Amino acid sequence: MLLLARSDEEWEALSDDQRDYPAITRWFGELAQRGVLMGGAELQSARTATTVAWENGKPILTDGPFVEAKETIGGFGIIDVADLDAAIEIAKTWPATSHKVEIRPIVPVD
């Protein structure tokens, strides 16, 4: 799993041109073509988040993300590759360089 972290505030201040969506679309497209892309999307900003937490077993809704932070998850990509090196190679090519890309292995289900 590639978690695409960004500052919502900075990202929203950019124009579509500056965000360079064509490059991002190309990036996902190339991964899909290589057959390693399992899924991915950009997320709305964290201000749109709703969080469900449980208190005494009872679900409670909160307006906002589960943790307040300057940087939040702005999107994700799920890739299927052999090892961490392969994931790093892909992460390094992510075009929006104001982001950070966190690589996290997915727990396998037997």
Partner 1 sequence: MKNGAARGVTDASVEAVLTSVVRDEAGQLTAALVRLLGDFALAEDLVQDAVVAALEHWPVDGLPTDPTAWLLATARRRAIDHWRRQRSYEEKLALLVRDGPSPEHADEVDDRLRLIFTCCHPALSREARLALTLRAVIGLTTREIARGFLTTETAIAQRIVRAKRKIVEAGIPYRVPHPDRLAERLAEVLRVVYLVFNEGYLATVGSSPDRRDLADDAEWLARLVVHLLPNEPEAAGLLALIRLHRARWGTRFDHSGRVVLLRDQDRSRWDHEQIAEASELVLNALRAGRPGPYQIQASIAACHAEAASWEQTDWRQILLLYDVLLRFTPTAVVRLNRAIALSEGVGPAEALVEVDRLESALSGYHLFHATRGELLRRLGRRDEARLADEHALELTANRGETSKEVQSDPAGSDSFYPGHYGVG
- Where on the chain is the footprint of partner 1 (CB under 8 A)? 82-85, 87-88, 103, 105
By beta-carbon proximity to partner 1, the closer residue of 65 and 94 is 94
By beta-carbon proximity to partner 1, the closer residue of 36 and 103 is 103
* SS3 category, 34: helix
Q: How far is the CB of 57 from partner 1 (least distance, A)?
A: 31
Q: How far is the CB of 90 from partner 1 (least distance, A)?
A: 13
Q: How far is the CB of 105 from partner 1 (least distance, A)?
A: 6
Distances (CA, A) of 68 to 49, 50, 72, 73, 98: 11, 12, 8, 11, 19
Beta bridge partner(s), residue 72? 6
By beta-carbon proximity to partner 1, the closer residue of 4 and 87 is 87
Q: From CA 78, how far away is CA 1, in angstroms rounded?
A: 5
